[in-house]
Amino acid sequence: MRVIGAGFGRTGTLTLKTALERLGFGPCHHMTEVIGDSRQVRQWLAVSRGETPDWDSVFAGYQSCVDWPAAAYWRELAAHYPEAKIVLTVRDPARWLDSMRATILKQRERGTTLPFRMTMWFSKVLGTDLAAFMEMTRRIVTEREFGGRADDSEYLVERFEQHVAEVKAAIPPERLLVFEVRQGWEPLCGFLGVPVPDEPFPRVNDTADFQARTRARLSPLLLRRS
């Protein structure tokens, strides 16, 4: 593990994943990798339930990680991989909250509807990945990161700012880059000690992309077994 992303989801983590892979720090672990891999779903479910993780097994084949679920364990990963550099993606807290409301929190609201609850029951009965994935994200994001208070907008902003402060306080400055993806290649490449590519910095996973990708990626989990 060479780079650990400590930033919350919706701070440009998929853009950072794309950039890191372009710079030679891939494959890069991201929630999209978990959705696409039944083994990953089950490993992270076990971690979310408090089982002692084998981080080297969880991240086998990866050189970097960003986004949840990994970002929720940034302290543990920074300690386990002491040579890895830490990138803390940030953005304006109010814009982050707006993005969360339009994507992750909206998806969470859909989970309370009767059709979705019936779908979850079906997945649990069959033992398929959808129920396992939803439990894992609830435990790690809703409960671990936000203390079960994802409906409290004021708290979410406070928690976002608290998280940024915690990472800055815990990681030595020479090991940490506080990064906004709108800054582009230069600060990221300077921090990682690699040349700046002769191409535009990637921009991916806006709100429309998130909604389309989520529907397409989660559907197969309903029938997929580990």
Q: Which residues is 5 bridged to in the sheet?
A: 87
Handedness of CA 187, 21, 19, 219 (dihedral sign): negative
Q: In this predicted model, what pLDDT tens digit does every residue of 115-141 receive, in sequence order?
A: 778 988 989 998 999 999 999 999 999
Domain count, the chain: 1
Which residues form the domain of 82?
Answer: 3-222
Residue 189 is predicted with a pLDDT of: 98
The number of CA neighbours under 13 Å toward the Cβ of 120 is: 14
The number of CA neighbours under 13 Å toward the Cβ of 221 is: 26
CATH number for position 176: 3.40.50.300
Q: In this predicted model, what pLDDT tens digit does every residue of 30-49 receive, in sequence order?
A: 999 999 999 999 999 999 99
Q: Which two tokens stand for residue 82?
A: 């002491």
- Angstrom distance (rounded) from CA 159 to CA 149: 10
